[in-house]
Structure 1
């Protein structure tokens, strides 16, 4: 089965089931995830949001196989990550998962083209020229392929990082605050790129963000609070997302005010 066929045949590119992640013990115990079950649909762009400490980054890292769950399951397609040893987990991440981080993480001595193909080159995989050429068209940097990262703007560097994440035709790309180091214009370009790549290539993106403007580019926003999935918003707008985030503050203030009144 080809990567494209496998991708479309799977309802969820990634998912977690009854996910619990506990840090520390006893009085210092923190439940970063508290029984979360959620799937990330194939061919869709999903954003994860929530207050600081809500568990959104822990959810993404666990779903991507960068962190292990205390209990519950994390799956890429139909593969349960907990059943894999370190070698097979590393292989799965390399072949089926892409990553975009706040820091661009490009190799300064390599050209744009070499940075994009680096994961495949390190793995010794042959390059899919048709897919590669399509990616170059999507990111719009064909005239910069022989430049080095230091010769590019921040927005252009992040576009290279996006292309690198998609270069291996992964089942899912996880993006952790991908516009955090960019100005608003460059950030908008990168978010449009992520959205257009999802639509034009039928890939899947899961993005953690704190920015309502960024979340508005997604097909759906998931909201976490206190390690739990508390809401979801299809077809988001920046205004609706901002209103929902403000409601978290009101909801958090309510119990605190009640405790104060009882005291």
Structure 2
């Protein structure tokens, strides 16, 4: 079945230079004194609407921290984070929760499905919580895109890991969010299931005019993105358009070599 299309005038992405999410001068510090850790050190970065961006870097580079702060799951020590034109630091807890529910989608490594709900109920959960009625046509098309038509009345325990992550992908896009953040979405999957999930994320960007930002350590996963952003020591270290697994792996090796040798990145 043909993938659903974005509504006219929607906020999912224009394919131009509009930023679906961005950070400016982002600093995140954990602890203080001798135990202080500077996880982000002045990162300024746009995540362009209608694009699939992967965030990569050595362990401890700040990639997960960047995603959490850009998505409003964590707060910056200084600097600014935006979803569209909305500055997250200016929002109180209630408004921030509503923004995440209505304008941001999430896909996590651990699936995070509610075990007592069916597949259909898990997919529409964000809309049910917000009191917004799901769009039946959009939801119906999503179900076909992720291939779960015959599993709608099953519960997560009755599904494979790959099927559970497909439910999570459908749930993330069900509300037509401005941007979907995916944190190691293939980390708990075998290679075949992982490829299927990455194909779904890429298809959502290219066929449904959505925006995806994915944190991953896997060069093969990153090769599905339109662009890879590299972090090192909490700073933006580089960007790569039209990545391949081989080019990404070579870049990671170089950043790791510089880190071990003490060369600034």
Q: TM-score, normalized by length of structure 2?
A: 0.93
Distance in 1 (CA, whole Å) between partners of 2:194 and 2:84 is 29
User: Could you give the per-residue CA deviations for residues 146-197 of structure 1, whole angstroms, max 9, x where no partner exists?
Assistant: 1111121100100000000111110000000001111111111100111011
- Residue 111 of structure 1, CA deviation: 1.2
Q: CA deviation at 1:231?
A: 0.5
Alignment of 1:5-154 (within 5 A): 5-8=10-13, 11-154=18-161
Kept in 1, the 8 Å contact 2:12–2:176? The answer is: no
Question: Where does residue 260 of structure 1 map in the other structure?
Answer: none
Distance 1:139 1:118, change over 3 A: same
Q: Distance in 2 between matches of 1:107 and 1:254?
A: 46
State the distance in 1 between where 2:135 and 2:261 align: 55
- TM-superposed CA distance for 1:144, in Å, is 1.2
Deviation at 1:129, TM superposition (A): 1.0
Q: How far 1:3 moved relative to its partner?
A: 8.4
Out of 191, 197, 213, the position equivalent to 1:190 is 197
Higher relative helix content: 1
Query: Which of 223, 226, 239 lines up with 1:232 in the alignment?
Result: 239
Match of 1:261 in 2: none
Q: Name the TM-score, length of structure 1 as normaliser.
A: 0.94
Structure 2 residues without counterparts, runs of 5 or longer: 1-6
Where in structure 1 do 4 or more consecutive aligned residues deviate above 6 Å?
A: none
Identify if the C-alpha distance between structure 1 residues 63 and 207 changes in structure 2 by more than 3 Å, giving closer, same or farther: same
Instruction: Tell me which residue corresponds to 2:4.
Output: none
Taking the aligned partners of 1:242 and 1:4, their CA distance within structure 2 comes to 38
Distance 1:8 1:204 in 2: 6
CA contact (8 A) 1:138 1:197 kept: no
Whole-Å separation in 2 of the counterparts to 1:127 and 1:167? 8
Q: 2:56 & 2:158 partners in 1: Cα distance?
A: 33
1:251 is matched with 258
Give the C-alpha shift of residue 249 in structure 1: 2.2
For 2:92 and 2:155, the matched residues in 1 are separated by 36
Q: 1:30, 1:84 → 2: CA distance?
A: 26
2:219 to 204, 209, 212: 212
| Per-residue deviation, 1:5 | 2.8
Give the corresponding residue for 2:180. Answer: 173
108-117 vs 2-11, which moves further: 2-11
Contact 2:40 2:234 in 1 (8 A): yes
Q: CA RMSD in A?
A: 1.4
Larger Rg: 1
